[in-house]
Amino acid sequence: MAQKEPINVCVTGAAGQIAYSLLPLICRGNVFGEDQPVNLHLLDITPMMGTVNGVIMELSDCAFELVNKIVATDDPMVAFKDCDAAMLVGAMPRREGMLRKDLLEKNAGIFKVQGAALDKVAKKTVRVVVVGNPANTNALVTSEFAPSIPKSQFTALTHLDQSRARAMVAERAGVNTSQVKNVIIWGNHSSTQYPDVEHAVIVSADGARTSVKKAVGDEAWLHGDFIKAVQTRGAAVIKARKLSSAMSAAKAVADHMHVWWHGTKEGEFTSMGVMTDGSKYGINAGIVFSMPVTIKDGVISVVEGLEISDFSRDKMRATEHELQQERETALKIVQ
């Protein structure tokens, strides 16, 4: 069988903690496939290029068979050249005590520059996932400055929140995480996000499906401590590590791009921050809002027709309001 042509994969913030955990997953084939060679484009700021070179040494020492070529650069125009996939990890990290508006001010300019570079040199089919926080609004800014690339090609990472929610449900229900399906993250990757299990199920070994609400049997927990725990998990990790999530974030980025590349399974959906058009679930147009989606042949489709309770509607409105405020703030910064 003839070997596939390598695809061009850009990872920004290549010297950082998330990239350090993410790059081996890419190089082993966990993201794009065990038979898919990759050309790695590693982007970071000039002062970090020495560290990036050290990362490249380690990648070389791993002798990954799928790595065709590695390009290290501090120039976005080089990094995004002919890219098939871009994982925008690099950003000013959130530190303990920082407010989201502080992150917005620090990071909006970074994503403006990267959006403009993507627009000029990346493939128009490039699949972009924004990881650097505030991820939803940074994805919006990136897309604003890449007008020739369809809005559908820009996503924000909420898979980490989905994984956190699935793990908490699994522990509570006494099942394996793999059995928990169709947890939804609505809205922002922030403390206003809404982890929704009203349509989630637990699938047994024989294929039987039980609603999470029935399996857990504690609606007060599902509507209270569970939601709060998922919403504040990032802050809890920072408090414990004195650093933001890295290993779990890298796994989530890999999972996000893997499902975008290979598609969702029948009867299952996943959560992604996607650009809204005003036609789904009453959410206003023009923000990047996490929703349940299915994916086939690289095309992301929002799951339609899910019944939304009054409880869920209130939670969704709160996170929508935050994203609208972030949008206004960010676009003022980058004008």
Name the residue ranges covered by the structural domains of the chain.
Answer: 7-156, 158-334
pLDDT value at position 77? 98
Question: What average pLDDT does the segment 71-89 reach?
Answer: 98
Domain 7-156 has CATH 3.40.50.720: yes
Q: Pick out the residues of the known binding site.
A: 44, 94, 100, 107, 131-133, 164
CA 290 to chain centre: 10
pLDDT value at position 84? 98
**Dihedral Cα 215, 183, 170, 208, nearest 10 deg:** 50
pLDDT > 70 fraction of the chain, expressed in percent and rounded: 97
Which of 137, 147, 152 minimizes the C-alpha distance to 104?
A: 137
pLDDT value at position 105? 80
State yes or no: pLDDT of 1 exceeds 50. Answer: no
More confident residue, 97 or 92: 92
pLDDT band at 96 (very low <50, low <70, confident <90, very high): low
Q: Pick out the residues of the known binding site for NAD(+).
A: 44, 107, 131-133
Q: Which of 153-162, 173-182, 236-245 has the lowest mean pLDDT?
A: 236-245
pLDDT value at position 128? 98
pLDDT value at position 54? 98
Strand ranges across the sheet with 209-211 = 180-181, 201-203, 209-211
State yes or no: pLDDT of 31 exceeds 60. Answer: yes
Catalytic annotation on 189? yes
Contact 265, 293 (CB under 8 A): no
Report the distance separating Cα 204 and Cα 300, nearest Å.
Answer: 28
- CATH code of the domain made up of 158-334: 3.90.110.10
Residue of 159, 189, 199, 258 marked catalytic? 189
Report the distance separating Cα 56 and Cα 40, nearest Å.
Answer: 10
- What is the total residue count of the chain? 335
State yes or no: pLDDT of 4 exceeds 50. Answer: yes
Report the distance separating Cα 65 and Cα 62, nearest Å.
Answer: 9
pLDDT band at 95 (very low <50, low <70, confident <90, very high): low
DSSP letters, 213-263, are HHHH--HHHHHTHHHHHHHTHHHHHHHHHSS---HHHHHHHHHHHHHHHH-
Query: pTM of the predicted model, to two decimals?
Result: 0.95
pLDDT band at 88 (very low <50, low <70, confident <90, very high): very high
Task: Read off the tokens for 232.
Answer: 């504040």
Q: Return the H-helix or E-strand segment holding 323.
A: helix 310-334
pLDDT band at 94 (very low <50, low <70, confident <90, very high): low
Report how far apart, in Å, the C-alpha atoms of 18 and of each of 2, 12, 37, 266, 325 are.
33, 10, 21, 30, 28
The residue behind tokens 């989530």 is 252
185 pairs with which residues across the strands?
A: 195
Which of 6, 2, 1, 75 minimizes the C-alpha distance to 42?
A: 75
pLDDT > 90 fraction of the chain, expressed in percent and rounded: 87
